Amino acid sequence: MYKRLNITLLLFLLAGWTLPGNAQESEPGHDDGSRSCINTRLIRRTYIVDDRNVLFYMSGGTVFHNILRMPCHGLEREDRFSYHTTGAQLCRLDGIYVLYNGAWGLREGASCSLGDFHEISKETAEAMRETPQQPQTETAPLPMPAPEQIGVDENGPPEAAEPAEPEEPQP
């Protein structure tokens, strides 16, 4: 009797032990369809859209869009980041770190907090990647008027002004 109970308990524990890796795929999301965490073992690649948006491409074809809680300065420019986890999950409020080229190799910058992970279609992800970011263009200078137009108002050419008499030098 105890032997049968131990085997049943052991099988139940083994089945439960394998669930966390698979349970991530079926994790219930929030009301808006987002989720708090993704399994790091399933991340195949990432794409940095800009300093606030990152795409996570997962095995199986799923794509998650993460909107960082605040802009992560240098993320788009450096185009790489690292993260540290205590388990196999990357979650909302976890930090990612921009990787900068330093004198002795890559170094981590300040931490930037992740937001929720929103599942999006591959088409939406491609549209985000292809949409050109609005470049900050310099303001074009105003065109200069032609020399003959300087001093001319709407009523015609300026009246001829009498030349001022030169001042006599003071002794």
Backbone Cα Rg of the chain = 32
Q: Give start and end residues of each alpha helix (H) in the chain.
A: 2-23, 75-78, 122-130
Lowest mean per-residue pLDDT among 20-29, 43-52, 153-162? 20-29
DSSP-derived secondary structure letter, 64: E
Q: Is the pLDDT assigned to residue 136 strictly greater than 80?
A: no
Q: Is the pLDDT assigned to residue 135 strictly greater than 80?
A: no
The Cα 33–Cα 117 span in angstroms is 9
CB contact at 8 A, 24 and 14: no
Q: Is the pLDDT assigned to residue 122 strictly greater than 80?
A: yes
Q: Which residues make beta-bridge pairs with 163?
A: none
Q: Which residues make beta-bridge pairs with 34?
A: 118
Average pLDDT, the chain: 77
CA 15 to chain CA centroid, Å, is 38
Q: Is the pLDDT assigned to residue 171 strictly greater than 80?
A: no
Condensed to tens digits (0 to 9), the pLDDT of residues 27-83 reads: 555 566 789 999 999 999 999 999 999 999 999 999 999 999 999 999 999 999 999
pTM of the full structure: 0.61
H/E segment holding residue 97: strand 95-102
